[in-house]
Amino acid sequence: MLPPIEKFDSSIGVRIYRMPVLAFPTLLAYTYLLVGACTPTLVDCGSGYGDSNDHLIAALKAVQSDFGEKLELQDIQRIFITHGHIDHHGGLSFIRQKLHGAKVGIHPLDRRILVAYEERVVVSTKNLRVYLQRAGVSEKRVQDLLNMYGFAKRLITSEKVDFLLEEGTEIDGMTFIHAPGHCSGQVCIRIGDVLLTADHILSRITPHQAPESITHYTGLGHYLDSLEKVKRLDGVRLGLGGHEEPITDIYARIEGIKEDHHRKLERILDIIRGAENPVTISDVSKAMYSEVHGYQVLLALEEIGAHIEYLYEHGELAVCNLDEIEQSDNPVLLYRTS
CB closer to Zn ion out of 81 and 304:
81
For residue 87, the minimal CB distance to Zn ion (Å) is 4
Contact between 46 and Zn ion by CB under 5 A: the answer reads no
CB closer to Zn ion out of 79 and 317:
79
Site track 174-213 with Zn ion (rule: CB under 5 A), x = hit: -------------------------x--------------
Please, are residues 16 and 190 in contact by the beta-carbon 8 Å criterion? no
How many of the chain's residues bind Zn ion (CB under 5 A)?
Answer: 4
Residue 281 phi, psi (nearest 5)? -60, -40
Please, are residues 98 and 48 in contact by the beta-carbon 8 Å criterion? no
Of the candidate residues 15, 18, 78, 85, the single one contacting Zn ion (CB under 5 A): 85
Contact between 302 and Zn ion by CB under 5 A: the answer reads no
- The CA radius of gyration of the chain, in Å to the nearest whole number, is 21
CB closer to Zn ion out of 113 and 311:
113
Task: Please measure the distance between the N-terminal and C-terminal CA atoms of the chain and give it in whole angstroms.
Answer: 51
Contact between 309 and Zn ion by CB under 5 A: the answer reads no
For residue 88, the minimal CB distance to Zn ion (Å) is 6
CB closer to Zn ion out of 181 and 192:
181
Neighbours of 72 (CB within 10 A): 11
For residue 317, the minimal CB distance to Zn ion (Å) is 27
CB closer to Zn ion out of 44 and 283:
44
Contact between 303 and Zn ion by CB under 5 A: the answer reads no
Binding site for Zn ion (CB under 5 A): 85, 87, 199, 242
